């Protein structure tokens, strides 16, 4: 199997780096076998020192591949799995090993994000299992749609789920992402039944997701779960705009502005009014 990584592209980087075609030399059969075994992952990059992707200071693995098509996605280069770098499991584990002491000292851990990490759930589970063995806290940052791929036993390797909730109204969710939101709600309820902590992430986009009645619906759903420890309202920004342009993709939000402080505070207040800790 082809497992060599491109020597010119470092594994460490930022999710705002544009990365394309790094895994395109891996053949179809080898991609299938990687997905089945979890011994090879397609990774956009690893970031160290993140303070915004879970508790403490963390290392974040950004995986390639996503089945959503969010209109406000800031990493459209992660939609295609073969844009990611083929990284053998052993190399991903080494990466965590390198930082394990620092992560423990800074009460952080490993977050696997994307793209959508559950597109490569076997790789994710193997990396999480290795992290747990090292005593490193694990967080899955997911859109939740493929939660059904995780068994109850698999959930034990995950300490925290950062769950992206984008809209409650089904038509709005389809408009923003291209897909239905029922599987996400089922996964959230399963996590609640398993008493697995969730941190909700909600991207606030003026003109799109800033209808406060809809924010209240999301807040009511999240509060009803009983396992949501925290909500982060993430103000939309344009740092991903250049990726849409470079990839020649139609970006509907090219003129959208970040939300004002007042609108962000208003959304936070709606989550707090539902009894949630929101920031
Ligand atoms: S789920 Fe995340 S990575 Fe996938 S399209 Fe939406 S914003 Fe982008």
CA of 269 to the centre of ligand 1 (A): 25
Atom nearest to 68 CA in ligand 1: 5
Residue among 64, 116, 117, 167 whose CB has most ligand 1 atoms within 8 A, to mutate: 116
Among 147, 59, 54, 73, which residue's Cα sits nearest to residue 115? 73
Q: How far is CA 247 from the centre of its chain?
A: 21
HEC string of 144-210 equals CCCHHHCCHHHHCCCCEEEEECCCCCHHHHHHHHCCCCHHHHHHHHHHHHCCCCEEEEEEECCCCCC
Atom nearest to 177 CA in ligand 1: 6
Task: Give the pLDDT score at 7.
Answer: 57
pLDDT band (50, 70, 90) for residue 6: low
- What pTM value is reported for the model? 0.96
Residue among 84, 143, 204, 247 whose CB has most ligand 1 atoms within 8 A, to mutate: 143
CA of 15 to the centre of ligand 1 (A): 12
Task: Give the pLDDT score at 270.
Answer: 98
Atom nearest to 164 CA in ligand 1: 1
Mean of the per-residue pLDDT values of the chain:
96
Which tens digits make up the pLDDT trace of 69-125?
999 999 999 999 999 999 999 999 999 999 999 999 999 999 999 999 999 999 999
pLDDT at 2 over 50: no
- Count Cα atoms within 13 angstroms, Cβ side, for 244: 17
pLDDT at 41 over 80: yes
Q: How many CB atoms lie within 10 A of CB 265?
A: 11
Atom nearest to 67 CA in ligand 1: 4
CA of 152 to the centre of ligand 1 (A): 25
Task: Give the pLDDT score at 114.
Answer: 95
pLDDT at 60 over 70: yes
Closest residue to atom 7 of ligand 1, CA basis: 73
Q: Report which of residues 2 and 165 the model is more confident about.
A: 165
Question: Ligand 1 — pocket residues by CB below 6 A?
Answer: 66, 68-70, 73, 75, 78, 114-116, 143
Task: Give the pLDDT score at 191.
Answer: 98
CA of 233 to the centre of ligand 1 (A): 16
CA of 105 to the centre of ligand 1 (A): 31
The 3-state DSSP class for residue 126 equals helix
Query: Average pLDDT of 223-241?
Result: 97
Query: Average pLDDT of 258-274?
Result: 98
Atom nearest to 143 CA in ligand 1: 1
Task: Give the pLDDT score at 9.
Answer: 86
Measure the CA–CA gap between 141 and 110, rounded to whole angstroms: 10
pLDDT at 130 over 50: yes
CA of 256 to the centre of ligand 1 (A): 17
pLDDT at 8 over 80: no
CA of 230 to the centre of ligand 1 (A): 20
The 3-state DSSP class for residue 11 equals coil
Which tens digits make up the pLDDT trace of 187-198?
999 999 999 999
Closest residue to atom 3 of ligand 1, CA basis: 115
- Count Cα atoms within 13 angstroms, Cβ side, for 73: 25
Query: Average pLDDT of 53-58?
Result: 97
Measure the CA–CA gap between 157 and 155, rounded to whole angstroms: 5
CA of 188 to the centre of ligand 1 (A): 18
Query: Average pLDDT of 172-191?
Result: 98
């Amino acid at each position: 199997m082809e497992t060599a990584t491109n020597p010119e592209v470092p594994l460490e980087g930022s999710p705002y780096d544009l990365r394309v075609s790094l895994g395109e030399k891996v053949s179809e059969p080898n991609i299938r076998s990687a997905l089945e075994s979890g011994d090879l992952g397609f990774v956009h990059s690893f970031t160290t020192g993140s303070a915004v992707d879970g508790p403490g200071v963390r290392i974040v693995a950004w995986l390639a591949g996503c089945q959503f098509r969010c209109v406000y996605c800031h990493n459209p280069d992660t939609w295609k799995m073969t844009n990611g770098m083929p990284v053998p499991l052993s190399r991903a584990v080494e990466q965590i090993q390198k930082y394990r002491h620092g992560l423990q000292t800074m009460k952080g851990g490993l977050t696997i994000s994307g793209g959508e990490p559950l597109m490569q759930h076997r790789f994710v589970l193997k990396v999480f299992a290795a992290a747990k063995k090292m005593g490193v806290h694990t967080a899955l940052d997911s859109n939740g749609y493929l939660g059904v791929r995780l068994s109850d036993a698999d959930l034990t390797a995950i300490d925290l789920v950062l769950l992206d909730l984008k809209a409650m109204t089904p038509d709005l969710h389809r408009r923003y992402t291209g897909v239905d939101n029922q599987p996400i709600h089922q996964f959230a309820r399963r996590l609640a039944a398993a008493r697995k902590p969730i941190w909700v992430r909600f991207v606030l986009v003026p003109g799109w997701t800033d209808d406060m009645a809809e924010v209240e619906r999301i807040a009511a759903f999240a509060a009803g779960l009983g396992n949501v420890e925290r909500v982060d309202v993430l103000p939309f920004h344009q740092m991903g705009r250049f990726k849409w342009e470079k990839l020649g993709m139609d970006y509907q939000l090219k003129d959208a502005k970040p939300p004002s402080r007042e609108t962000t505070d208003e959304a936070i207040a709606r989550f707090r009014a539902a009894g949630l800790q929101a920031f």
